[in-house]
Amino acid sequence: MDEQYLQVEERSGYSVLVEQNEIASDFLERQVIIDTYLPTNVAHTGNLNLLLLNDGQDLLKIDFAEILHKLMINGAIEPLICVGVHCGPDRKMEYGTECQADYKGRGARAGLYTKFIFDELLPFIRKTYHIPSFKEKSFAGFSLGGLSAMDIVWNHASEFSKVGVFSGSLWWRRKAYDEGYDDELDRIMHLQVRKGQLHPWLQFFFQCGALDEENDRNNNGVIDSIDDTLDMILQLKLKGYTDKHIRYLELKDGRHDVESWARALPDFLKWGWGR
């Protein structure tokens, strides 16, 4: 696909340019569509931040460019480049945890997706926009894309500074419930944190909606998505992270949908890059 400008500065003072490209990925064996949200009138130097987002196709549904524009034009956040990576038809195979697939074999291509990020996507961004390095890099995602972002950041902490997990699929597990499942032993991402090392520069943003789902596997009156997220925060704190490293946002009327995540995005952006 030739460079395609989805939104240009057609509005007075519009400060975000959205450019769409395709990357022919050898690792994923498909064309990967990416949308790059570029702040205008900003020198492309090593002082710029980069935010990668999974499920980039959803950003178009919520007019992410307008969200960025309002925050930047009001001076609420520093200018940053955001890259939304569109998912492919094998989303449930490419997103997940690199260390192992879940109990149904989902996430088996997560390692290849990680290779795509580091060996194809980041070099493409640097070359295309003539930015050899960034001030910092961060990663975010929704649902299963949030789990993917968390997995990549946690296992490549030297490359990132922040991660955003919106209604994350932190239930990702090694066993089915009827196979002797145990919260402490079988949630894959929680196990990685428990066995991992403290990286004191990392910061974590978690968002859940009280209406994300209705499942409550331990019958404690708290839905699983919130339980799994709060347990993840507990694991991080046991590792040595504090409230200075972690932000938790719970939307009382939030659901497992792009509209709820859109409402949470400004909070995330101001938390991570506020002035």
Secondary structure (DSSP) of 218-262: T-SSS-HHHHHHHHHHHHHHHHT--TTTEEEEEEEEEESSHHHHH
Q: What is the pLDDT of residue 5?
A: 40
Tell me the C-alpha distance between 220 and 226, whole Å.
Answer: 11
Query: Could you give the percent of the chain with pLDDT greater than 70?
Result: 93
pLDDT value at position 57?
Answer: 98
In whole angstroms, what is the distance from residue 157 CA to residue 79 CA? 23
Are 148 and 101 in contact by the 8 Å Cβ rule? The answer is: no
CATH number, domain of 133, equals 3.40.50.1820
Please tell me the total count of domains within the chain: 1
31: how many CB neighbours lie within 10 A of its CB?
Answer: 12
pLDDT digits (tens, 9 = 90+) for 2-27: 344 444 333 334 478 999 999 999 99
pLDDT at 261 over 80: yes
Q: What pLDDT, on a 0 to 100 scale, did the predictor assign at position 47?
A: 80
Average pLDDT, the chain: 93
Q: What is the pLDDT of residues 128-169, one digit of tens each?
A: 999 999 999 999 999 999 999 999 999 999 999 999 999 999
Side chain identity at residue 61, one-letter code: K
pTM of the model: 0.93
Range of the domain at 195: 4-273
Per-residue pLDDT, 41: 72
160 and 138 Cβ atoms separated by less than 8 Å: yes
Query: What's the confidence (pLDDT) of residue 119?
Result: 98
Banded pLDDT at 71 (limits 50, 70, 90): very high
The mean-pLDDT minimum among 35-49, 65-79, 189-203 falls in 35-49
